[in-house]
Amino acid sequence: MKKTFFFLAIMAFAVLSCKPSAKPEEQRTNGFSDVPKTKQDSLLKEVMDGHDVGMAKMSKITKLLSDIRTQLDSLAKVPKNKVDNSYLLALTQAQEELNSAENSMNMWMEKFSMDSLENDIPKRIQYLEGEKSTVEAVKKRILESISKADSLLKK
C-alpha cells in the first residue's frame, strides 16, 4: 500500500511539474514557426505555403497525365483521317505542360535549402525572397497546367 501511494505521489508530482516548452502557437512545425516573428520567418512560411499548394496538386497531375495517355492511346487506334488533329495537338501540349510543371516542382525542391544562410540574415532574406518568387512561379505553372488539362479532358 505504501509503495502504491509513494508511486502515485511521484507520478502526480511529475505530471504537475511538467509544463510545455512553448505555447502551441509558438512551437515549430515543419522547420518553421506558424506564427512568424521575423521577416525571414514570414518569408520561409510564404515559401513553404507555396510549396504545400504545389505539392497538394501532384496527385492531380499524375491522374491527368494518365487520362491524357489513355486518350492518346485511344486516338492512336483510330484511322488517321478520322482523328481531330487539333484535339490531338492540344492533348500533347497539355501532357508536355503537366510534365514540365511536375519537373519544375521537383527541380525546385532539389535545389531549395531550408537552412540556407541561417547565420547571415540579410543574405538569407534575399535568398528566401528569390525562392518565394520561384515557388510562386512553379505553383502558378502547376495550377495553370491542371486547369488547361481539366478543361480539355472535360470536352
Residues 50-96: tens digit of each pLDDT? 999 999 999 999 999 999 999 999 888 888 888 888 999 999 999 99
In this predicted structure, what is the pLDDT of residue 41? 83
What is the three-class DSSP state of 32? strand
Q: How far apart are CA 118 and CA 138, in angstroms?
A: 24
In this predicted structure, what is the pLDDT of residue 113? 84
Can you tell me the mean pLDDT for 119-146? 92
In this predicted structure, what is the pLDDT of residue 114? 79
In this predicted structure, what is the pLDDT of residue 35? 60
Q: How far apart are CA 30 and CA 55, in angstroms?
A: 14
Tell me the whole-structure pTM to 2 decimals.
0.73
Single out the residue of 124, 130, 61 nearest to residue 95, CA to CA.
Answer: 61
Q: Which helix (H) or strand (E) holds 47?
A: helix 39-56
